[in-house]
Amino acid sequence: MKVVVQRAKNASVVVQNEVVGAIKNGLMLLVGITHTDTLEDIKYVADKIVNLRIFEDDEGKMNQSLLDVKGDILSVSQFTLYGDCRKGRRPNFMDAAKPEFAEKMYDLFNAEIREKGVHVETGSFGAMMDVQFTNVGPVTLIIESK
């Protein structure tokens, strides 16, 4: 599992000219699933993300988590995170999970975050999506399982 985590002061995802998910403050996630991911991977990554101390405290230090600031998450599935660009000019997506498995794992990942008390908005799995957000800092991290 691979997730790009970006601190955001607003984020939205649009499908066919309709906003399907939006947040005002929190984290924008691009979520990639590979065929070997397990429930253990989901739990590890979800816990890591909600507890990352990447929000400023009163002294301006990154010392607070998403839970501390009561932020939300916009989670967008992103199979292209597993695109291998080492050979040729066209990415190889063999490491990306098949859609049926990926959607199930993506849904479980979002449910795991919700169980931790975080509001989660999502895009539409498998759809062509337009994602807009304002990255604060900018702060961008990559969290991987295994």
Contact 91, 28 (CB under 8 A): no
* Burial class (CB within 10 angstroms; exposed 0-12, middle 13-18, buried 19+) of 78: buried
Q: Where are the alpha helices (DSSP H) in 1-141?
A: 39-51, 66-69, 99-115
Question: Out of 6, 34, 55, 78, which one is annotated catalytic?
Answer: 78
Question: Out of 16, 36, 38, 80, which one is annotated catalytic?
Answer: 80
- Residue 91: asked if its preceding bond is cis (omega within 30°), the reply is no
Active site residue 79: yes
Question: Out of 55, 79, 109, 133, which one is annotated catalytic?
Answer: 79
Active site residue 34: no
Active site residue 16: no
Q: Which residues are catalytic?
A: 78-80
